[in-house]
Amino acid sequence: MNCGYGYCQGRSFLTKEEKIELLQEYKERLEKESQGVAERIKDLEKEK
């Protein structure tokens, strides 16, 4: 099983297009996580 960049596949070799797509999806998940963290920081700062 090939795992990396936030994905796991049963295949050993991915095409360039598949790698690009998986990396783009991973980037989107990271951006959403970052946005969530920023929102949580703002909420906590309001509680001071």
In 1-48, which residue ranges form alpha helices assigned H by DSSP? 16-46
The residue segments making up the domain with residue 27 are 2-46
Query: Which pLDDT value is given to residue 5?
Result: 56
Query: Which pLDDT value is given to residue 48?
Result: 77
Query: Which pLDDT value is given to residue 1?
Result: 47
Query: Which pLDDT value is given to residue 8?
Result: 63
pTM: 0.69
Give the pLDDT confidence of 19-46 residue by residue, as tens digits: 999 999 999 999 999 999 999 999 999 9
Q: Other C-beta atoms within 10 Å of 23: how many?
A: 14
Query: Which pLDDT value is given to residue 4?
Result: 61
In total, how many domains does the chain have? 1
pLDDT band for position 11 (50/70/90)?
A: confident
